[in-house]
Copies of this chain bind each other. A is one copy, B any other.
Amino acid sequence: MNDRFLRACRRETVDRTPVWIMRQAGRYLPEYRDLRKRVDFLDLCRTPDLAAEATLQPLQRFPLDAAILFSDILLPLDAFGIPMTFSPGPKIAEPVRTRAQVDSLVARPAAEAVPFVAEAIRMVRRDLGDRAPLIGFCGAPFTLAAYLVQGEGKEGFGAVKQLMFREPATLEALLEKLSVAMSDYLRLQIQAGAQAVQIFDSWAGILGLADYERFALPFVKSIVASVRDLNVPVIYFVNGGPHLIEAASRAGSDVLGVCWRTPLDQVAARVRPTLALQGNLDPHVLFADAAVIRGRVSGILDSVAGRPGHIMNLGHGILPETPIESVKTMIETVQAYPVMSAAHA
């Protein structure tokens, strides 16, 4: 069993740093683009054997230390019966902006609303065998609310911030419902076989610290607490939040994933030593030549060498135009890096 990813999440000794890549099943892979020629994005997510196929594609090509379920953070909003389309970004026909809309949201159990996710997870686990563990995931409530209130992805996500300042109680009611639904959704994934879970807070960084502490952090905390009894590592990834690192480190997760903005040794100095770290190569580095990639990857590994609990990853999702060769170079650099065991650190 390749368990170095799970061991690193728990800050146990590893033979080398594990590596996986956010959005590793995605458009930079020709085999994924082929799959998408045959099937629409939402259908792909909702068809267990196809979602399983997409999940496994990067593992066939690269010796990655973890798989991550192919899906989208907005997909479980099916549980609320909120219609949406992807073209390619998400589009929600009726953005949620009023108290009445929030009050009318009732989540069906994830097991009923998105049974295909559990089924895809079971299929992936069967096919993966001992090669690598499988990560499940969900969006953090504030990030999901940013999409639901805006109705689409939009720089700055002004609509959710307007709601936050105008009607904070309405936003809190929405966040509470999302938090409960995401807890249920992660439990479904873990019970179906996900061996770790990641909570993506892609847009928390648009919040000032005090607003993050009120409108984002508590709802993540409650998700983390709600899956604790299932005993799998929880990763909390905050994008664009260099000002939120200390606060985010208090979410209760085992691992904090950070974007490329803050050097990992500085992150390490700002969080408790018992928090594992994930990241944080700038995804654009993968457009550079091999020597630059090797240098940057080694630099990150150097910066936390001797600190137990590091999972190598990008600082954000891999970009669609990324050359395959660069991904190989990144992974090979991690594999070749001489690791001190924690015992010697």
Asked whether A319 lies within 8 Å of B158 as measured between CB atoms, the reply is yes
Which residues of the other chain, B, contact A211 by a CB distance below 8 angstroms? 282
Is A289 in contact with chain B by the CB < 8 A criterion?
yes
Which residues of the other chain, B, contact A243 by a CB distance below 8 angstroms? 242-243, 261-262
Stretch of A45-53, A160-168, A170-178 lying at the B interface: A160-168
Which residues of the other chain, B, contact A207 by a CB distance below 8 angstroms? 261
Closest-by-CB residue of B relative to A293 is: B165
A341, chain B: closest CB distance, angstroms: 28
Which residues of the other chain, B, contact A139 by a CB distance below 8 angstroms? none
The residue from B166, B263, B282, B285 contacting A287, defined by CB atoms under 8 A apart: B166
The residue from B261, B285, B288 contacting A209, defined by CB atoms under 8 A apart: B261
Is A1 in contact with chain B by the CB < 8 A criterion?
no
Which residues of the other chain, B, contact A315 by a CB distance below 8 angstroms? 208
Residue-by-residue, is A230-255 near B (CB-CB < 8 Å gives 1, otherwise 0)?
00000000001011000000000000
A42, chain B: closest CB distance, angstroms: 23
Asked whether B242 lies within 8 Å of A161 as measured between CB atoms, the reply is no
Closest-by-CB residue of B relative to A157 is: B284
CA distance A208 to B280 in the complex (A): 10
Is A28 in contact with chain B by the CB < 8 A criterion?
no
Is A116 in contact with chain B by the CB < 8 A criterion?
no
Asked whether B208 lies within 8 Å of A282 as measured between CB atoms, the reply is yes
Extra 13 A-B pairs, beta carbons < 8 Å, given A158-B284, A165-B285? A155-B155, A165-B284, A165-B288, A166-B289, A207-B261, A208-B262, A208-B282, A208-B315, A209-B262, A209-B263, A210-B263, A242-B242, A243-B243
- A selection of 17 A-B contacts at a CB cut-off of 8 Å is A155-B155, A158-B284, A165-B287, A166-B287, A166-B288, A166-B289, A205-B261, A207-B261, A208-B261, A208-B263, A208-B282, A209-B266, A210-B263, A240-B240, A243-B243, A243-B261, A243-B262
